[in-house]
Structure 1
Amino acid sequence: MRPVDPERDPTAVWKVECPTRPSRMPGVRMAGFRDNGTGLAAAGHRVVPHPDVTLFLEFGARAPLMEDTAGRQRRESLLAGPGLGSGGALWVRGEDLECVQVRLSPPVAGVVLGVSPGDLDGAPVPVEDLWGREAARIRERLSEAATWGERFALTDALLARRYDEAARRSRSADSAVDPEVAWAWHRIVAGHGLIRVDALAAEVGWSRKRLWARFHAQIGLPPKRAATLVRFDHAAHLLTAGEPAARVAADAGFADQSHLHRDVMAFAGVTPTAVAGEPWLTVDDLAWPNGGASSESPARPGRTDPG
């Protein structure tokens, strides 16, 4: 780990809190954020894409402003699918910000949140559009909670209740995640994106075409794009940890350093050198100490008809 640069020190920007116990649901993690009023938060943070589904539950004195390069702005709690901010096209700005951020593995996100990652279409969606008045009640309860421990417990209870309600209902096949898709996602994450789609299809006993269609519909990305995003995320965190770009390119499975440069630019909108200091990434070791994308370990599905 490289020495901390005071200008890049995430603790100078954010007060970060982590739960003392894991979520009761697999594939769900959360962290709490409060800006320290340094002015950097007001200047803005570039959103660096992540493989998980992300839920932002804001409750501070001022709602954060999320703005894209086209000038579209949102100020509310938001839900976004894998790869939010691809191309460096999204920024978060504001002062006096407080929020609980939840990361959900895509195979479990649809059940927990009530919307499939495949329906999010890469853009952030206001939580109020999905949950109605419940979104305002959540914000109020988070604001009234005296401690972060209470906020994490409230959030976990909310997500667990929604999960249980979905499990009690007879959900249609279109809203469920196939075991084969969940297995393929797990293999992509476990291998840091270094696995071929035809190999995944062979493992689950499906045709490549069927895996592509079902995975894309249920996860929100085609499998090759998902693998590329997971590989980028792994490489970006190696860069943030101070590893030289040439070594990262070799260790993360890129053809060469130019290949790494192209992928980092495509996802983050900046060079590998610049992405290593992005506050959105430098805070990850504090907020998500286990590192990597959320991943449950489903049982390997049995072989089915090729389809």
Structure 2
Amino acid sequence: MYAERRSRLAPLTVWTRTVEVAGSERVLPDGCMDLIWSGEQLIVAGPDTLAHAVENTSGARYAAVRCVPGIGPALFGLPADTLRDRRVPLADVWGERAVRVLTERIAGAADPAAFLERLAAERLRDHDADAARFADAVVGELRAGADIAAIAAEVNLSERQLHRRSLTAFGYGPKTLGRVLRLNRALDLARGGLPAARVAADAGYADQAHFARDVKALAGVPLRTLLSG
């Protein structure tokens, strides 16, 4: 069972999950970075470029916070591209001594998800406002369908500067981030029951074939397989 909610404390989504049936699942790229408590270990999930395969054990419980795109570096203290396509122990990022204390505290917490929410909100309290504005602007322009030149002009950067800054903020350049955001919007529409041709048009793909190619490239499986899983 999976549940999530938007945090009132910071630009985060708080989520929990209890695995009911063991097996593998496909976690799709979403432009985000997560701090996850597995019940035994604190883990950092970096921004993915491709679907990430996860093997689940029946009864396993997870609590986590997911940063909106561009906020993860402020939480973890590292450029996003250093964690791209990686799952690493938080101890590798914040140090073993600090994380040992956090692990003891969260293991004894009545609500691990709320513990992570407060921890993340505290670390993000004084985060770089300029970096947050940059991330918001780029994500907003991409979701509105703007091209790279227009986005660079909007944030007063050259296209090369935009690419470098996006690597730090999101883990990849704006073109890849745009594909990831578009795919997630399209899948939300498809799960809502819209036919694939309508989804492709509404999400900004050239046509249904373009949509199908992007699903296969980023998710690793055809749309029908993805939606039936």
Normalising by structure 1, we get a TM-score of 0.66
Q: Among 1, 7, 17, which residue is 1:22 paired with?
A: 7
Q: Separation in 2 of the partners of 1:17 and 1:47?
A: 15
Partner of 1:205: 156
Partner of 2:188: 237
SS of corresponding position for 1:247: helix
Amino acid at match of 1:54: D
SS of corresponding position for 1:242: coil
SS of corresponding position for 2:74: helix
SS of corresponding position for 1:206: coil
**Residue 182 of structure 1: CA displacement?**
4.3
Partner of 2:43: 78
Partner of 1:117: 80
Q: Is the 8 A contact 2:166 2:174 kept in 1?
A: yes
Q: Is the 8 A contact 1:249 1:255 kept in 2?
A: yes
Q: Among 175, 184, 187, which residue is 2:138 paired with?
A: 184
Does the alignment pair 1:56 with 2:36?
yes
Q: Among 39, 47, 57, which residue is 1:94 paired with?
A: 57
RCO higher in structure (CA 8 A, sep ≥6): 1
CA gap 1:198/1:217 in 2 versus in 1, 3 angstroms = same
Cα root mean square deviation, aligned: 2.4
Does the alignment pair 1:43 with 2:27?
no
Report 1:84-233 matches (<5 A): 86=50, 88-131=51-94, 132-146=96-110, 150-164=111-125, 177=131, 179-188=133-142, 190-191=143-144, 194-233=145-184
Q: Is the 8 A contact 1:23 1:29 kept in 2?
A: no
CA gap 1:29/1:228 in 2 versus in 1, 3 angstroms = same
Amino acid at match of 1:79: V
Normalising by structure 2, we get a TM-score of 0.87
How many residues end up aligned between the 2 structures? 227
Provide structure 1 residue ranges, at least 5 long, that are not aligned to the other structure.
Answer: 1-13, 64-75, 279-307
CA gap 1:134/1:94 in 2 versus in 1, 3 angstroms = farther
Q: Which runs of 4+ in 1 moved over 6 A?
A: none
* Identical-pair percentage: 28
Please give the per-residue CA displacement for 1:144-165, whole angstroms capped at 9, x wherever unaligned. Answer: 333xxx333311221123234x
Q: Is the 8 A contact 1:249 1:256 kept in 2?
A: yes
Relative to its length, the structure with more helix (as a share) is 2
CA gap 1:23/1:57 in 2 versus in 1, 3 angstroms = farther
Q: Is the 8 A contact 1:56 1:101 kept in 2?
A: yes
Largest Rg, 1 or 2? 1
SS of corresponding position for 1:249: helix
SS of corresponding position for 2:205: coil
Amino acid at match of 1:247: R
**Residue 179 of structure 1: CA displacement?**
4.2
Partner of 1:258: 209
Report 1:244-283 matches (<5 A): 244-278=195-229
CA gap 1:186/1:138 in 2 versus in 1, 3 angstroms = farther
Provide structure 2 residue ranges, at least 5 long, that are not aligned to the other structure.
Answer: none
**Residue 208 of structure 1: CA displacement?**
1.6
Please give the per-residue CA displacement for 1:39-71, whole angstroms capped at 9, x wherever unaligned. Answer: 3xx222122221211222111xxx6xxxxxxxx
Q: Is the 8 A contact 1:195 1:227 kept in 2?
A: no
Q: Among 20, 24, 32, which residue is 2:16 paired with?
A: 32
